[in-house]
Amino acid sequence: MILLLDENLPIKIKNYFSDACTVYTVRELQWSGIKNGKLLQLMEDNQFDALVTMDKNLSYQQNLDKLKVIIIVLNAVNNKILTLKPFIELLNERLPNIKNEKYIVINLT
């Protein structure tokens, strides 16, 4: 699975993803500052499977039915690595079973 980490996530968090994933960051692709609609189109054009973000408003801003990529929201209180690590561990467990989903919120509860 090819994932893109949104710019609201720390770059080093990519090291916590399963080896089954290829993970890129918005920064390393030089896509920082690109609006969500254009970013999602770039992802589709470049065969990404999912966007991992903390942006809870994305589902209200985009027509999810038309998207070919999955939006995964980490519902964390902050974007520090220690806070996000358990979210990534949970996401790693769920990744093999999310192919047909469009919008996923990862909670620790």
**pLDDT tens per residue, range 79-91:** 999 999 999 999 9
Work out the angle at residue 30's Cα, subtended by the Cα atoms of residues 26 and 56, and round it to the nearest 5 degrees. 25
Q: Annotate 54-88 with b (16+ C-beta within 10 A) or e (fewer).
A: bbeebeeebeeeebebbbbbbebeeeeeeebeebb
- Which pLDDT score is estimated for 23? 97
Q: In which band, very low, low, confident or very high, does the pLDDT at 105 lie, cut at 50, 70 and 90?
A: very high
Total structural domains in the chain?
1
**pLDDT tens figures, 7-63:** 999 999 999 999 999 999 999 999 999 998 899 999 999 999 999 999 987 766 766
- Which pLDDT score is estimated for 15? 95
User: Domain range spanning residue 16?
Assistant: 2-106
- Which pLDDT score is estimated for 72? 96
CA–CA gap between residue 70 and residue 104 (Å, rounded): 8
Q: Given a cut of 80, is residue 109 above it in pLDDT?
A: no
- Which pLDDT score is estimated for 60? 67
